[in-house]
Amino acid sequence: MSSTHQVVITQPDPESDDFEFAVTCPSINCSLWMRCKDCSHEPTEQETAASEYFAHDVDHSLIDGEWMTDTEQCAANATESGADGLSDLAHQFGPSTQQFDVDYWGDGVWDIIHVPSEVEK
């Protein structure tokens, strides 16, 4: 199953430098995880060693030293670094449909990586 995303880039006002994005997300390797705000659970040594536990009906994972839960939001749409990457695509290609992958670098930073179409290869 592919993790490649698609974005349709539009520019409502050609005189403006503003773009709009409609992202199609395959929900693979791009989900934004946030620190659990509802949790009072103290992970056991076993859970810490496994870097995961289940509490209050939610899976938790140890990411960047913090216990996180899945927001089920695509990082391309829900993070500043994702938005910056989409903006870079828009400025590079203008109004168009582009393919991209999303990669997590750590410390909350996500990278948008353009995937060239067959025509561009």
Domain count, the chain: 1
Q: 78: helix, coil or strand? A: helix
Q: 80: helix, coil or strand? A: helix
Domain that holds residue 110: 5-115
Does residue 111 belong to any structural domain of this protein? yes
Does residue 121 belong to any structural domain of this protein? no
Count of Cβ atoms closer than 10 Å to residue 85 Cβ: 22
pLDDT at residue 1 tops 50: no
Q: What is the pTM of this model?
A: 0.75
Does residue 14 belong to any structural domain of this protein? yes
- Reported as a single tens digit per residue, the pLDDT across 67-99 is 889 888 898 988 999 999 999 999 999 999 999
Does residue 120 belong to any structural domain of this protein? no
